[in-house]
Amino acid sequence: MAVRYRPMRPDDAKECVEIVAAHPFMSPRYGSGTTDLRTVWLSLLGRDAFRAVVFEDGEDSQVRIMGVGVSAFVSHDFLLELKTPPFFWAGPEMAKRVLRGESPLLSDKQVREANADGGLNLVTWVGALHADYLQSVDANTAMFAAFVGEHRGFLLKELVSHGMSLETLEGTIRSGGLFLSPVSGRYVDSLNRPLQEILAEPHLVGLTRELAVVRFGTWIGSLFVYRPPQFGFRPSEQRLLLAALRGGTDEDLATALEITLSAVKKTWRSIYDRVTPLSPGLIPDKIPEELSSERGKEKKQRLLAYLREHPEELRPASF
């Protein structure tokens, strides 16, 4: 199995909703509401607050969607509601509110402002695998890895989730997540109830930035490690760099971003002009004459290698 993930595209939405509708744990929580998910997700694609990826099995020539992962940055008021007993399932409730025109998701401007000052509240929406992959260790591991990859580099304030299955609930707890007690309103190590019993009704597992500091070394705690960006890339530059990290030539990037090849090259020049004065040693400027044809490729490789280790540079923020 060759598991990989990528951003959700509009033509993925139907199949992703079908996976949720067939999921043994997710489907009962949505009921008839699964029919609205496609409309809701399509209305949110492209928003900074909406994080959606699909997982693919690319082991053979026929690539197959094997799962979907969705999360959202939400308002402080919605987070407080979510944490106030009686608890409710976050995903179905978010879908209902979006349909009513009362979306709890932050606007692009609010995401930029919160990511620069104060921090963001992150809520998981869906994490579902196709029935053929539910017991796959590789697929479940890929989902955890993708969640980290999608949210590293953000200034997180609080993360709230709920178990999608017994295995993922156990994995989340082992990885540093804490139960939110409906009695004390605090995060605790245990609710002193069997996990199967907890899983059967709305529950919350999460972590705050303050708790992450004292729980150093956990997988979930690592999401709260943050360094301010130094380059201040524009949104158009960030989009190009994010696409470049997934691979492809400039021609491929132009197609993926639906812009001209000239616009791609112009954006690369803008990126280099921004990076060079702030970090002179990052991008090679003077290259021997015999290697001049490789200059552009070398620049890109150096910059992309840096960005893989510094995802904060590619997160929306106000500068």
8-67: per-residue pLDDT in tens?
Answer: 999 999 999 999 999 998 999 998 889 999 999 999 999 999 999 999 987 666 789 999
Tell me: do 105 and 155 sit in the same domain.
yes
Tell me: do 57 and 183 sit in the same domain.
yes
pLDDT digits (tens, 9 = 90+) for 184-229: 999 999 999 999 999 999 999 999 999 998 887 888 999 999 999 9
Tell me: do 212 and 299 sit in the same domain.
no
Domain span holding position 241: 235-314
State the pLDDT confidence band at 291, using cuts at 50, 70 and 90: very low
Percentage of the chain beyond pLDDT 70 is 95
| Beta carbons of 117 and 161 less than 8 angstroms apart | no
Q: Where are the beta strands (DSSP E) in the chain?
A: 3-7, 50-57, 64-74, 120-129, 156-161, 178-180, 187-188, 205-208
Q: Which of 224, 251, 280 is the last residue of a domain?
A: 224
Percentage of the chain beyond pLDDT 90 is 74
Query: What tokens were used for 8?
Result: 């959700």
State the pLDDT confidence band at 285, using cuts at 50, 70 and 90: low
Tell me: do 108 and 20 sit in the same domain.
yes
Q: How far apart are CA 227 and CA 306, in angstroms?
A: 14
Give the model's pLDDT for residue 216: 77
Helix axes 261-278, 295-309, angle to 10 degrees: 70
Tell me: do 81 and 121 sit in the same domain.
yes
Tell me: do 248 and 125 sit in the same domain.
no
Give the model's pLDDT for residue 58: 76
**46 within a domain of the structure (yes/no):** yes
The CATH number assigned to the domain holding 105 equals 3.40.630.30
Is pLDDT of 172 > 60?
A: yes
Q: How far apart are CA 130 and CA 28, in angstroms?
A: 15
Tell me: do 240 and 220 sit in the same domain.
no
Tell me: do 106 and 253 sit in the same domain.
no
Tell me: do 150 and 274 sit in the same domain.
no
Give the model's pLDDT for residue 102: 98
Give the model's pLDDT for residue 60: 64
Write the DSSP symbol of residue 61. S
Is pLDDT of 287 > 80?
A: no
Mean pLDDT of the chain: 91
Give the model's pLDDT for residue 294: 63
Tell me: do 12 and 54 sit in the same domain.
yes
Give the model's pLDDT for residue 298: 83
Q: Which of 203, 224, 245 is the last residue of a domain?
A: 224
Give the model's pLDDT for residue 188: 97
**209 within a domain of the structure (yes/no):** yes
Instruction: Determine which of 110-114, 121-125, 159-163, 227-231 has the lowest per-residue pLDDT on average.
Output: 159-163
**139 within a domain of the structure (yes/no):** yes
Tell me: do 285 and 199 sit in the same domain.
no
Domain count, the chain: 2
Q: Which of 198, 224, 250 is the last residue of a domain?
A: 224
Is pLDDT of 179 > 80?
A: yes
Tell me: do 89 and 207 sit in the same domain.
yes
φ/ψ of residue 278, rounded to 5:
-85, -25
Residue 250: CB partners within 8 Å, gap ≥ 6?
261, 264, 265, 268
